Amino acid sequence: MTILGAEHGSFSWVLREYHEDDLMNRSPIFNMVTHIRLTAISSYQLNSRLDHFGRLSHFAVPYYDDSYHDARHLQPLLKLESLKMLVISVPNEVNGEVQWKALDKWVRKIREMDDRVYLVGRLSIFLRDEWESKMRGGECIWEWAIQFTNEWEGHATA
């Protein structure tokens, strides 16, 4: 799993010198990455193309506030054929607040057409806590996302 932070809203830091459209000049690392989890990002507007990651199957981004994190900007990621999960990680303190409403509406709408979008509540603001839990046999973010999303959808229909 690759864990990266993109505080400046850009993926231009990803092996910039090897980010070529020409397959012969592109770094082979792009075809080795299957999971990317961003721990921080200031905006969902991507300045780089993720289609260079030909095997990218799991992508996770944090969500804090709809003024910075407009979920509609994530929609182009769903064009990636290799993508199996797009996970939006929401800190527990955001649940039930005004910021949650825009994300909730977008995810419900998208999941009607594309069930690869998932939500997950963050149990801890410290990534180390999640990593230690996983190393002790706990679930990873991808497993949490499936469970969280199923419960979230269940509450909506109840």
Domain interval for residue 12:
2-157
Kindly provide the b/e burial profile for residues 1-38, where b requires at least 16 CB atoms within 10 angstroms of the residue's own CB: ebeeebeebebeebbeeebeeeeeebeeebeebbbbbb
Count Cβ atoms below 10 Å from residue 103 Cβ, excluding itself.
19
**% of residues, the chain, pLDDT over 70:** 68
| DSSP letter string, 61-88 | EE---TTT--GGGGGGGGG-TT--EEEE
pLDDT digits (tens, 9 = 90+) for 25-38: 667 777 888 998 88
> What is the reported pTM?
0.81
Cβ atoms of 61 and 91 within 8 Å: the answer is: no
* The one-letter amino acid at 125: I
Which is more confidently placed, 31 or 157? 31
**Per-residue pLDDT at 158 exceeds 70:** no
Cβ atoms of 119 and 111 within 8 Å: the answer is: no
Q: How many domains does the chain have?
A: 1
Spatial separation of the C-alpha atoms in residues 86 and 12, rounded to whole Å: 20
**% of residues, the chain, pLDDT over 90:** 24
